[in-house]
Chains A and B, each alone.
Chain A
């Protein structure tokens, strides 16, 4: 089956700063937004952009993620003409190893990519929350005759030292690239989304694959090498909501952002970019006779008898009478027993908060709680 473009979605990371959330869960499988897992965003973007084949590279605690992804039916893939394909590290005749870096992971799956003889390969990360039409980025890449197009987003100058920063000319051609620069020369940060012309990608991956000392990272090795060799590299400016929720604090904040009308448009008010996810066999949410719900997001299957304010409550949870959930995020399947007060907390899935518990009342920091 020949495809013009296929996507390779890197979903192997742990997300160490998400603490116990990623003890048994890969970061892309972490919950977000009352209903979704982070990986629903890049996968739904692929569906809506018309990308038929998505290779998903898993590694860390991958059972849950592999099971969740399957052949992609949750995102409309039929498993035949369009599909997601799980690509874990595997034994080969030459030997076996884990994936050691973003470029290494793709390098070890060049044979998978070859099957589709694509002209272009889209490299994505499964860690980010955003809505993007990759077809538009591909058109841009084609129009410019680029060898590599990197999606960038404007960040605050004060934050720029946390990102890979692209320096471009007025035509958005990348002139240089600095990883976490102390004195950033621009505010265009790499989003870790690349479109490569396949021949170039293959060439540079194979070269890098031979260098034992290399960390095999796109940002640290492949991109700089391509720049050195004066390949045609362009930056594609993305304007919209984009978040890398790497810490408990940022995960909480990203959830709270949804309570204000913002660019992420989770409600798809523009009507053209739905985010698909797993459905559950649940009743719609039930709000009890003495309950109080304000400024919150609540998913189906949840029963609220108590108070929920400024919070995001996932599905199939129960908030008992007299319990109060304030500025918090409750993951699926939790029970908040009566009289409890929860403030500025993320409650992990399937957790029971005992009666009359008082959690994080001073709220100086966002905390994470599990059973």
Chain B
């Protein structure tokens, strides 16, 4: 097992409408009890990586709260492991300068002081179950300068628009990185997970800032495609992109099928998260719940179908929730009907009795709204 420095890159996450107006995607609730960053963090921990930096783009407050001080929940041993929050305060308000390369420059001490030989940089908006040791092994065996993880897809005409795809030679070396505009169905879509030697990373950071202060990791990789040996590692497991409210809802609802959630979650690759010590969920008389995840602390008196219910949610009698995501501490009053709705934390739905969205156009109830 190699000693690897793990960096979680929050710079390329998309906005999810009002869900991310006050928080990054990383701390947005997922599947009732997680924050998206838990998936990436757990992949790192399960890969034996305990030296972790989180590259924060903006709105860090809820992330600080979720991670706690030093993030003990995610360390095997919090003396030997460490979790560092990397924040680029100087450039935080300037979108041109606030990118991952500049974040690393601002926090270069963390990368310089590390004793790890390899670095993995991984995003938070792509859900997968990657063992980074496998990627590093492949990287070492190819003697590559950089290794990028990708997945072969067959539906790139209508999906993954705007993401990067890779043109590979027969040895899986990357010839070119381009943007997917939907011209072909079969594509090698980049999962934006990058492995390289730590020394190489330091060189690239240095080089990048000299070429352009606006260059992000994505830009410098495209630029260096011809000159450096960039290897591609194929990931064959479950993977989904969360880049819009539609995909947030559709991925969550898709995971309501047992064969899907069993692909992403298993006891040999656990997902860690912090606990809120909530009691078991309580179901009252004549509740009808089907094909749903219900988080602890919730008190259910109504009907819930094909939905994800977060912690401490109250669903009153006669309420019907379908195809929806309800985040924590929400109250849905009597006889309210929700269909294709995302209800943000602590909202109360009291007097509006019908909230009907659609798959393409889900409704969002904002955090703490009382309607």
Residues of A whose CB lies within 8 Å of any CB of B are 33-35, 266-268, 274-277, 279, 281, 283-300, 303, 312-315
Interface of A is mostly: loop
The chain A residue sitting closest to B289, CB to CB, is A287
Determine, out of B5-13, B82-90, B294-302, the stretch whose residues face the partner at the interface.
B294-302
Across-interface contacts of A298 in B (CB, < 8 A): 280-281, 283, 294
Q: Which residues of B contact A296 (CB under 8 A)?
A: 282-283
Contact between chains at B277 and A279 (CB < 8 Å): yes
Provided the pairs A267-B299, A268-B279 are in contact, do residues A284 and B294 lie with their beta carbons within 8 angstroms?
A: yes
Cβ A295 vs Cβ B294 within 8 A: no
Does B200 reach chain A (CB closer than 8 Å)?
no
Q: Point out the residues of chain A lying under 8 angstroms from B279, CB to CB.
A: 33-35, 266-268, 275, 297
Taking A276-B277, A289-B290 as contacts, is the C-beta distance between A267 and B258 under 8 angstroms?
A: no
Minimum Cβ distance to chain A for residue B275 (Å): 4
Question: How far in angstroms is the closest Cβ of chain B from A254?
Answer: 14
Q: Is A283 touching B285 in the complex (CB atoms < 8 A)?
A: no
A297 touches B282 (CB 8 A): yes
- Asked whether, in the complex, the Cβ of A294 is within 8 Å of the Cβ of B280, the reply is no
Name the interface size band of chain B.
20 to 34
By beta carbon, the residue of chain A nearest B273 is: A281
The residue from A284, A292, A294 contacting B293, defined by CB atoms under 8 A apart: A284
Q: Are B297 and A267 in contact (CB under 8 A)?
A: yes
Interface set, chain B 117-142, CB cutoff 8 A to A: none
Q: Are B277 and A300 in contact (CB under 8 A)?
A: no
For the complex, give the distance between the alpha carbons of A295 and B270 in Å: 30
- Besides the known contacts A275-B279, A287-B289, A299-B281, 13 further A-B residue pairs in the complex with CB atoms under 8 A apart: A267-B299, A274-B277, A275-B277, A279-B277, A281-B271, A281-B272, A283-B31, A284-B33, A285-B296, A286-B294, A295-B284, A300-B280, A312-B280
Residues in chain B near residue A35, CB distance under 8 A: 279-280, 296
Shortest CB distance A13–B (Å): 26
Q: Are B296 and A294 closer than 8 Å at their CB atoms?
A: no
Is B293's CB under 8 angstroms from A285's CB? yes
Residues in B whose Cβ lies below 8 Å from that of A285: 281, 293-296
Give every chain A residue within 8 A of B353 (Cβ-Cβ). none
Chain A residues lying within 8 Å of B275, measured Cβ to Cβ, are 279
Q: Which of B272, B277, B290 has the most CB of A within 10 A?
A: B277
Cβ-defined contact, B296 with A293, below 8 A: no
Give chain B residues whose Cβ lies under 8 Å from the Cβ of A290.
Answer: 290
The reply to whether A284 and B277 form a contact with Cβ atoms under 8 Å apart is no
The smallest beta-carbon distance between B340 and chain A, in angstroms, is 18
Interface string of B305-330 (1 = CB under 8 A from A): 00001000000000000000000000
Determine the residue in chain A with the shortest Cβ distance to B274: A279
Q: How far is the CB of B256 from chain A (nearest CB, A)?
A: 8
Of listed A268, A275, A290, A294, residue having the most chain B CB within 10 A: A294
- Give the distance in Å from the alpha carbon of A288 to the alpha carbon of B288 in the complex: 11
Partner of A277, one of B261, B265, B277, B291: B277
Q: Which of B282, B286, B291 contacts A289 (CB 8 A)?
A: B291
Give the nearest-CB partner of B270 in chain A.
A281
Chosen A-B contacts, 14 in total, with CB atoms closer than 8 Å, are: A34-B279, A35-B280, A35-B296, A267-B282, A284-B31, A284-B295, A285-B294, A286-B258, A287-B291, A290-B290, A293-B289, A294-B284, A298-B280, A300-B296
Contacts of A284 in B (CB 8 A): 31-33, 293-296, 309
Q: Is the CB of A288 within 8 A of B32?
A: no
Q: Which 5 A-B pairs have the closest CB atoms?
A: A34-B280, A279-B275, A281-B270, A284-B32, A299-B280
- In whole angstroms, what is the CA distance A279 to B290 when docked? 25
Please tell me if the beta carbons of B258 and A295 are within 8 angstroms of each other in the complex: no
How far does the alpha carbon of A295 sit from the alpha carbon of B297 in the complex, in Å? Answer: 15
Q: Is A288 in contact with B296, judged by CB distance below 8 angstroms?
A: no
Kindly list chain B residues whose C-beta atoms are within 8 Å of the C-beta of A277: 277
Q: A281-B272, A283-B293, A293-B283 are in contact. Are A288 and B258 (CB under 8 A)?
A: yes
| Cβ of B349 to closest chain A Cβ, rounded Å | 20
With CB as the reference atom, state the residue of chain B lying closest to A287. B289
B287 & A293 in contact (Cβ 8 Å cutoff): yes
Residue pair A288, B261 in contact (C-beta under 8 Å)? no
Bound-state Cα–Cα, A268 to B277, Å: 11
Residues on B with C-beta less than 8 A from A293 are 283, 287, 289
A95 to B295, CA, bound (A): 52
> A277's closest neighbor in chain B, by CB?
B277
Q: CB-CB < 8 A to A300: which residues of B? A: 33, 280, 295-296
Chain A residues contacting B339 (CB-CB under 8 Å) are none
Query: Are A294 and B283 interface neighbours, CB within 8 A?
Result: yes
Query: Would you call A291 and B289 a contact (CB within 8 A)?
Result: yes
Least Cβ–Cβ distance between A290 and chain B, in angstroms: 7
Say yes or no: A286-B296 contact (C-beta < 8 A), given A268-B279, A275-B277, A281-B271: no
| Across-interface contacts of B289 in A (CB, < 8 A) | 287, 291, 293
Q: How far is the CA of A314 from the CA of B296 in the complex (A)?
A: 11
Contacts of A313 in B (CB 8 A): 280
